[in-house]
Amino acid sequence: MGIRRYFATQDNTITNAFKNDLRNRATGSNAGASDVLEAFVIHGQTSASVDSNNAEQARILLQFDMNEIVDDIANGVIPSSSVDYILRMYNAPHADTTPLSYSLNVVMLDQSWNEGRGLDLEEFTDNGVCNWVSASVGSFWGADPANPATKVTGGYFHEGPNASASYFFSGGVEDLSLNVNFAVDRWRSSGSEGNNGFILKHTDDVIAGEHGTFFTKKFFGRNSEFYFKRPVIEARWDSSRKDNRGNFIVSSSLADGSDNLNTLFLYNNVRGQLKNIPGLKDNQLLLKVYSGTATAPSTNSVLIIDSDNNSRQQLTGGILIENGVEISGVYTCSFATTSSNEYLYDVWHTASGGGRTEFFTGSFEPTTLKALELIYDDEYVTDITNLKSSYIRGQKPRLRVFPRKKNWNPNIFSVVTAEVTPELIEDAYYRLHREVDNLEIIPFGTGSSVNEYTRMSYDVSGSYFQLDTSYLEPGFTYKIQFVYYLQGEYRQQPEIFKFRVEEPAP
């Protein structure tokens, strides 16, 4: 799946800006029900707003339910490690001045707060909590909410190390996309760090007036009518699996050690559920490879080469470890071979002699790497073989992607006698748009810097990925597109595949 979204459960804008009379400040105003969030710093609107002690400011508060993330980790929906948690907020266009070249700090809050029900960010007529001076009813912002001596204004936030990050806006109107692992990892741990959310504020030098007024940056809030513009934390990880049963290569001097290694998978499916094979010591199996014909293996085993380049009669395979997590019922073994046999068979077993138990026998046809006198610029035709026209929101279909070369030209004999096999694309990615306005919902998650979170898996039947419809707005049609990484460049494929998401029946 590689991506999962968690929507904000609370948000608010707190401010000490002057009201329209330029005499009274809106420190008691609340905007917890507003559909827009706002951050600004104003200097010099009056003589009482010229430095860091009295600058007019608006700051954004956000909170997410960490229990959702903790539960998803416990249930195996997302891995416990190797995940990037990205805070995503979306620019709200407006007619006011928008600042250029500035940063917003995203800081962990140190105090719980109430969202409130205010709406007015123009005249600040809705009083309530939380606001600039109070976190909740009867509680000031500060180390001891009941003690006025510890009172602070503008939010009580973490000032220790590894508690904040900043995002730079060059043109002012960009969306925010920021890695917040520093906070999520602390909140979801078993430590005492409380999840009070984030505060978004301008940097201290801007507040001090060193660069003038920065008015105003607006984002869509969690109450926005625009579903895909609401603030989210997006969990991203590389969920791709590469099963080389369909593209196994013979060890060659044309490839380095890692490229010569091939990985085979075994899935233990019991009554529709992946389960560990009982009785295995340390969840390990032995794997031995035999030569054979197109129909059956022989009794002749072939040497296989481990990751340390040692030749072996058999190797030990084990439970799949994916992003630091054991995957129940899935076993793998990686090896190379120099065998020139056309057909090879992998036998997964335990022990030997009379105590030997065979669990699975698979087959594969290794290919030999060849240097070429030119580079073939292959084009592909792609299909999703099991895509339905519609899904109920919350379904998570595993979609099967079948690429083949575009110049494939079968005759009547080959159509009748041969099974068409897919081309296995080493690095293939998907993206998702909403059809009505072409809004990009999930981009091509390419590149190691973003965890390659939309890279597809593949096995002998082609590529595949799991589509999570739980974060898609029902009542709309969506479009899937693919890009393949070929010959050192990303090549977008022309095909577009559509499906609709419907609301579950009441």
Mean pLDDT of the chain: 94
CB 307, CB 332: distance < 8 Å: no
Mean pLDDT computed over 375-379: 82
Q: For residue 340, name the pLDDT band (cuts at 50, 70, 90).
A: confident
pLDDT value of residue 379 = 92
Q: For residue 323, name the pLDDT band (cuts at 50, 70, 90).
A: confident
Pairing relationship of beta strands 139-142 and 151-152 according to DSSP bridges: antiparallel
pLDDT value of residue 410 = 65
Q: Which residues contact 279 (CB under 8 A, 6 or more apart)?
A: none
Residues 356 and 411 in one domain: no
Do the domain assignments include residue 375?
no
Q: How far apart are CA 233 and CA 88, in angstroms?
A: 6
Do the domain assignments include residue 374?
no
Pairing relationship of beta strands 315-322 and 284-292 according to DSSP bridges: antiparallel
- Which DSSP string do the residues of 81-94 spell out, in sequence order? SS-EEEEEE-B---
pLDDT value of residue 50 = 62
pLDDT value of residue 415 = 54
Residues 90 and 219 in one domain: yes
Cα–Cα nearest to 33, from 117, 92, 113? 117
Which of 178-187, 282-291, 366-375, 488-497 has the weakest average pLDDT? 366-375
Q: How far apart are CA 498 and CA 331, in angstroms?
A: 34
Q: Which residue has the higher pLDDT, 116 or 377?
A: 116
Q: How far apart are CA 413 and CA 237, in angstroms?
A: 45
**Element housing 67 (H / E):** helix 66-74
Pairing relationship of beta strands 476-486 and 497-502 according to DSSP bridges: antiparallel
Omega into 333 within 30° of 0, i.e. cis?
A: no
Residue 351 main-chain phi, psi, to 5 deg: 55, -165
Residues 161 and 81 in one domain: yes
Do the domain assignments include residue 132?
yes
- Report the SS3 class of residue 161: coil
In this structure, what is the dihedral angle of CA atoms 71, 77, 79, 82, given to the nearest 10 degrees? -110
Among 334, 368, 402, residue at a domain's last position: 368
Residues 388 and 262 in one domain: no
pLDDT value of residue 354 = 76
Residues 210 and 261 in one domain: no
Cα–Cα nearest to 387, from 462, 464, 497? 497
Q: Which residues contact 467 (CB under 8 A, 6 or more apart)?
A: 1, 391, 396, 397, 398, 399, 480
Do the domain assignments include residue 199?
yes
Q: What is the per-residue pLDDT across 128-170, written as a single tens digit (0 to 9) for each?
A: 999 999 999 999 999 888 888 889 999 999 988 899 999 999 9
> How crowded is residue 392: how many other Cβ atoms within 10 Å of its Cβ?
12
334: domain CATH number is 2.60.40
Q: Which residue has the higher pLDDT, 75 or 442?
A: 442
Which of 115-119, 315-319, 370-374, 415-419 has the weakest average pLDDT? 415-419
Question: Which residues on neighbouring strands pair with residue 199, listed in sequence order?
Answer: 61, 107
Burial of 248 (0-12, 13-18, 19+ CB in 10 A): buried
Question: Which of the given ranges, 182-191, 413-422, 448-457, has the highest pLDDT on average?
Answer: 448-457
Among 182, 203, 236, residue at a domain's last position: 236
pLDDT value of residue 272 = 94
Among 368, 402, 432, residue at a domain's last position: 368
Q: 3-state secondary structure string, 253-271?
A: CCCCHHHHCEEEEEECEEC
Q: How many residues does the chain have?
A: 506
Q: Which residue has the higher pLDDT, 377 or 478?
A: 478
pLDDT value of residue 189 = 83
Domains in the chain, number: 3
pLDDT value of residue 420 = 79
pLDDT value of residue 462 = 97
Burial of 131 (0-12, 13-18, 19+ CB in 10 A): buried
What is the CA angle 471-474-477, rounded to 5?
Answer: 100
Please give the share of the chain, as a percent, with pLDDT higher than 70.
Answer: 96
Do the domain assignments include residue 61?
yes
Do the domain assignments include residue 243?
no
Residues 295 and 429 in one domain: no
Is the pLDDT at 1 greater than 70, yes or no?
yes
Q: Which residues contact 192 (CB under 8 A, 6 or more apart)?
A: none
Q: Which residue has the higher pLDDT, 352 or 77?
A: 77
Residues 79 and 127 in one domain: yes
Mean pLDDT computed over 14-27: 95
Please give the share of the chain, as a percent, with pLDDT higher than 90.
Answer: 84
Where do we find the tokens 């917890």? 32
In this structure, what is the dihedral angle of CA atoms 20, 24, 28, 30, given to the nearest 10 degrees? 10
Do the domain assignments include residue 242?
no
- Which residue type, as a one-letter code, is found at position 220? F
Domain of residue 287 covers 249-368
* Chain centre distance of CA 493: 22
Omega into 216 within 30° of 0, i.e. cis?
A: yes
Is the pLDDT at 374 greater than 80, yes or no?
no
Q: How far apart are CA 84 and CA 4, in angstroms?
A: 11
Q: How far apart are CA 123 and CA 32, in angstroms?
A: 15
Is the pLDDT at 52 greater than 70, yes or no?
no
pLDDT value of residue 155 = 98
Do the domain assignments include residue 112?
yes
Residues 360 and 403 in one domain: no
Question: Which residues on neighbouring strands pair with residue 486, listed in sequence order?
Answer: 489
Residues 7 and 52 in one domain: yes
Termini Cα distance of the chain? 27
- Which DSSP string do the residues of 194-219 spell out, in sequence order? ----EEEEE-HHHHTTTT--EEEEEE
Residues 175 and 130 in one domain: yes
Cα–Cα nearest to 155, from 171, 167, 141? 141
Q: Which residues contact 473 (CB under 8 A, 6 or more apart)?
A: 227, 228, 434, 501
pLDDT value of residue 193 = 65
Residues 302 and 333 in one domain: yes
pLDDT value of residue 414 = 57
- Report the SS3 class of residue 245: helix
479: domain CATH number is 2.60.40.1930
Q: How far apart are CA 320 and CA 308, in angstroms?
A: 19
Residues 9 and 100 in one domain: yes
Q: What is the per-residue pLDDT across 173-185, written as a single tens digit (0 to 9) for each?
A: 999 999 999 999 9
Mean pLDDT computed over 487-501: 97
pLDDT value of residue 51 = 62
pLDDT value of residue 407 = 78
pLDDT value of residue 190 = 61
CB 1, CB 239: distance < 8 Å: yes
Q: What is the per-residue pLDDT across 406-440, written as a single tens digit (0 to 9) for each?
A: 877 766 555 554 677 899 999 999 999 999 999 99
Mean pLDDT computed over 332-339: 97
